[in-house]
Amino acid sequence: MQRVLIVEDSKVVQQVLRHLASLYLEVEIDFAWSLKESREYLSKHQYTLALVDLTLPDAMDGEVVQHTLRQNVPTVVLTSKIDEYSRQQMLELGVVDYVIKDNRDSYLYAVKLVSRLLRNQGCKALVADDSMISRAVMRQMLEKQLFTVLEAQDGEQALHMLKEDYEIKLLLTDYAMPTMDGFELVKAIRNNRGRDELAIIGLSGAGSHGLSAKFIKFGANDFLAKPFMNEEFHCRIMQTMEQLNLIAEIKEYAHRDYLTGLYNRRFFCQQAEKLFKAKPEQYILALLDLDLFKSINDQYGHEGGDSVLTQVADLLKSVFNHCMVARIGGEEFAVVLPGNDMQVAERAMNDFRNRLAKTQFDINGEILFSTVSIGLAFCNHGSLSQIMRAADKALYQAKAQQRNRVVVYS
Ligand SMILES: Nc1nc2c(ncn2[C@@H]2O[C@H](COP(=O)(O)OP(=O)(O)OP(=O)(O)O)[C@@H](O)[C@H]2O)c(=O)[nH]1
């Protein structure tokens, strides 16, 4: 479990930080008022990160920062003002970043920064650069931001590592490298890793005019010219990782049905088409349609109907957690079952059908029961629409045979 230490001596500011932390940080948090109290906490617990006020009544010269860093706790500093001398001092000490407390938004920024850094933990970053020194500098900076850092000394090695390891979420690549340069690397990797899966920042030495635009055109998210300032590096990485998360979140929303959280019809069709084309003999498709659902709506209202749909979806998720499950219409669901044994598939669907028939659906304290009809088809019947039509015909037969049954397309 991640744990954060927040040190702030002002009562009002600590109250604001407590409030923001409760909104944005889902981790264990300890709040301290002073260096003395911070020492006590640090002796008792291991911290992932610290957010500390630079000056405290018992530590006027930033001793608390020195203390957290000595304990190897990555530290973000809150400070009311900063001059060039103290900025240098802090960077030399090795703080992750500093936030100037000059307006209301600073605290929100600081807490969101902590949240962003916590999300970096466990994320792999790959540094591709032929200079050992550059790699070492970037490793140090990225590790401060809690990334797990990997290194490649040329483009080919980087490409190989990226193809093997899908946990790598960030690539920092130099332009000039032996065997494969940065452009070739970005072009090659963008063929199979989209902007929602991998963030890329291009790097280049001084005097390499025009490289930034080229890197971005080839698919990089951003660009950094060497030598860069600590703060610039930090901000660019943060911003790029934020983008990566936002794109992934938007994509996830676009794939999901708003009511049940299952995959929606569009995503189901895209994925099923790929699966059935690649290995048609490896899957069986089940289409499920709740019986006489209209009467549930008529009796319990649309909200009651929605509640039943959500409960059915939850049951499907838990029973078929190893399969692709989607809501493809109002009260219609699809399950892609792996394997080619129709008897096994039929048994699994009958088990589900029986379980659903025994399920008590609770609508505002009122209990009701529902049943489902199911059509099954092999996935080697040609195109996706032909396969869907086959399963649909079987489903239609199940409905015609008084519902609450499983029929296999033949
Ligand atoms: N509550 C709710 N109802 C929906 C939703 N989408 C579709 N429906 C309703 O689902 C019902 C489907 O009714 P029908 O197609 O007549 O089928 P049925 O009553 O289930 O009868 P059979 O399929 O023949 O067993 C309609 O009343 C739709 O309004 C939804 O998102 N929420």
DSSP string computed for 148-184: EEEEESSHHHHHHHHHH-TTEEEEEEESS-SSS-HHH
Structure-token pair, residue 335 = 């399950």
Q: What pLDDT score does 229 carry?
A: 86
Atom of ligand 1 lying closest to residue 293 CA: 20
Q: Which parts of the chain have pLDDT scores under 70? A: 206-209
Indicate whether this complex's ipTM tops 0.90: yes
Which of 405, 408, 407, 399 minimizes the C-alpha distance to 294?
399
**257 close to ligand 1 (CB < 6 Angstrom):** no
Label residue 74 exposed, middle or buried (CB < 10 Å: 0-12, 13-18, 19+).
buried
Tokens 């911290």 sit at which residue? 47
Q: Tell me which DSSP letter residue 98 carries.
A: E
Fold identical between 3-118 and 265-408? no
Q: What pLDDT score does 192 carry?
A: 85
Fold of 3-118: Rossmann fold (3.40.50)
Residue of the CA atom closest to atom 12 of ligand 1: 294
- Run of H or E including 13: helix 11-24
In the chain, where are the structural domains located?
3-118, 122-254, 265-408
Atom of ligand 1 lying closest to residue 304 CA: 1
* Cα 395 from Cα 58, distance rounded (Å): 75
Which long-range contacts does 248-253 make (Cβ < 8 Å, 24+ apart)?
248/196, 248/197, 251/196
* Cα 255 from Cα 196, distance rounded (Å): 13
Task: State the CATH class of domain 122-254.
Answer: alpha beta
Label residue 27 exposed, middle or buried (CB < 10 Å: 0-12, 13-18, 19+).
middle
Q: Are the C-beta atoms of 129 and 173 separated by less than 8 Å? A: yes
* Cα 121 from Cα 109, distance rounded (Å): 19
**291 close to ligand 1 (CB < 6 Angstrom):** yes
Atom of ligand 1 lying closest to residue 290 CA: 20
**392 close to ligand 1 (CB < 6 Angstrom):** no
**332 close to ligand 1 (CB < 6 Angstrom):** no
Q: What pLDDT score does 89 carry?
A: 81
> Residue 72: helix, strand or coil by DSSP?
coil
Query: Per residue in 118-132, pLDDT tens?
Result: 999 989 999 999 999
- Catalytic residue chosen out of the listed positions 28, 151, 331, 332: 331
**19 close to ligand 1 (CB < 6 Angstrom):** no
> Residue 321: helix, strand or coil by DSSP?
coil
Q: What is the pTM of this model?
A: 0.73
Active site residue 40: no
How many A from CA of 223 to the centre of ligand 1? 52
Q: What pLDDT score does 206 carry?
A: 64
Which of 120, 154, 342 minimizes the C-alpha distance to 244?
120
**293 close to ligand 1 (CB < 6 Angstrom):** yes
Task: Please report, as a single letter, which amino acid is at residue 265.
Answer: R
Q: What pLDDT score does 68 carry?
A: 96
Task: Provide the CA 270 distance to its chain's centre, in angstroms.
Answer: 21
Task: State the CATH class of domain 265-408.
Answer: alpha beta
Secondary-structure percent of the chain, ordered helix, strand, coil, rounded to 5 = 50, 20, 30
Three-state SS for 267-308 is HHHHHHHHHHHHCHHHEEEEEEEECCHHHHHHHHHHHHHHHH
Residue of the CA atom closest to atom 15 of ligand 1: 294
Residue 27 exposure: Cα atoms within 13 Å on the Cβ side? 24
